[in-house]
Amino acid sequence: MSSGATVAAARTASAVFALLTLHHEGSTELKMAAAPVREWSDEQLKSDDLPKKDIIKFIQDNAAHSFLNDHKLLGNIKNVAKTAKKEQLIIAYNQLFESKRFKGTEPVEEVTEQVKAVKIEEKPKEVKTEVVDEGPPKFTKSVLKKGDKTNFPKKGDTVSCWYTGTLEDGTVFDTNIPTAAKKKKQAKPLSFKVGMGRVIRGWDEALLTMSKGETARLEIDPEWAYGKKGVPESKIPPNAKLIFEVELVAVD
């Protein structure tokens, strides 16, 4: 949760900084460049062939921020197109050339306005429990034997693997590999649909990076394993980091 917010804030800050830099560098160029030219005649503007979106885009690209604000042309083009009538847009378009309130004509205010604008757009529209960017992945993988590097499982594919799971202290808490001692049991590789939340997250994420035939050593942080609870019946204590050696034998 907090890492997501921090990242979002960081994005905002860097965007603002970039904008400031760009603007600072670009402002003299812009002033010296020629003012934008009319693309369309009045007739063309009124024509049904010219979509509202095109006009809006032109104005947004070329008008000063305060101009856009005054004419209610700020924001997502689609949304503006919904609320603005063609007549209004034609008026705004003509006004732009009359008033010459093009981009770069109001530098200081410009920066402040744009910073504000950036901030508003960066704000997430919905508070979702799933944050896309959670930070670094909570497992590491070292390849022990290379796979065919061609057959990578996708979400929903059925994968089969042999595996051994140990705790950090070396205790083996689970395995499906038949050994001499365990010959009694029927041994089959474990099959399941990958990427569907059926197994601990560390497995779901790691297996999607493996190719058929690959054997890898995975070290999974508790957050992507059994977390605070652990699994006492399976000898997994709370907050345990789990180490698995996994061989991906088949991908369906």
Partner 1 sequence: MALEQLSDVVQRCQALPDDSYTSEDHDVFSIAGQTCIEDGNSAQVLSIILDEKNQDLVRCMGWNLLPALIKVLLRKEDKHLHHCLAILNHLLETCRPKELLIGLLEQLEQDDAVTIAESIHLLLNPLQKVLLCLGSRKASSLSMTLSSVLDQVAKLPLPQTKDQEEDDVFSLCRCCTDLIVFIRPFVHEVRQHLLNSREQSENTDKTEGKQDKENELRTELLKFCMKSLSHPLLEVQLKDPDTLLVSPLRDFATEILNTLSDIGESLASLVHQPLLKRKQLPGFLEEEVRYPKESLASLTHLVFVHHLAADTFPSVFNPVFSLRCNMEHICFLLSRMEETRIQKGLELYEKSLVRVVDGSLPAELLEIKTFLTVPQNLVKVMTICSRHDLRIKSLKVFQLNIDKFDTEAKYNFFQYMLKISGHSGVEGYIIKNIKNQIDVTLQPGNSNTWFEGAHLLPLLRKVLILPDGPETDLLQYLDRVMESLNLLRYLVIRDKVTENQTGIWTELYKIEDMFMKPLRVGLNMSRAHYEKELQNTMEAKKSKAKEEPMLSVSVGDEKLPNMTSESQIQALHSALHTFDMIESVLVRIEELIDVKENL
Active-site entry in 102, 163, 220, 221: 163
Does 173 bind partner 1 (CB under 8 A)? Our answer is yes
Least separation, in Å, of the C-beta of 147 and partner 1? 20
Does 155 bind partner 1 (CB under 8 A)? Our answer is no
> Which structure tokens are listed for 182?
């365990």
Does 115 bind partner 1 (CB under 8 A)? Our answer is no
Least separation, in Å, of the C-beta of 244 and partner 1? 8
Size of the site for partner 1 (CB under 8 A): 27
Does 170 bind partner 1 (CB under 8 A)? Our answer is no
The answer to whether residues 84 and 91 touch, using CB atoms and an 8 Å cutoff, is no
Q: How many CA atoms lie within 13 A of 92 on its CB side?
A: 27
Active-site entry in 200, 204, 220, 221: 200
Least separation, in Å, of the C-beta of 142 and partner 1? 19
Does 125 bind partner 1 (CB under 8 A)? Our answer is no
Judged by CB under 8 A, which of 64, 163, 214, 222 binds partner 1? 163
The answer to whether residues 246 and 210 touch, using CB atoms and an 8 Å cutoff, is yes
Residue type, 206: A
The answer to whether residues 66 and 107 touch, using CB atoms and an 8 Å cutoff, is no
DSSP-derived secondary structure for 114-131: HHHHHHHHHS-SS--SS-
Q: Which stretch binds partner 1 (CB under 8 A): 27-35, 50-58, 114-122, 194-202?
A: 194-202
User: With respect to partner 1, which residue has the nearer C-beta, 38 or 229?
Assistant: 229
The answer to whether residues 159 and 192 touch, using CB atoms and an 8 Å cutoff, is yes
Interface residues toward partner 1, by CB under 8 A? 127, 129, 163, 165, 173-174, 176, 184-186, 188, 190, 197-201, 203, 226-229, 231, 233-234, 236, 244
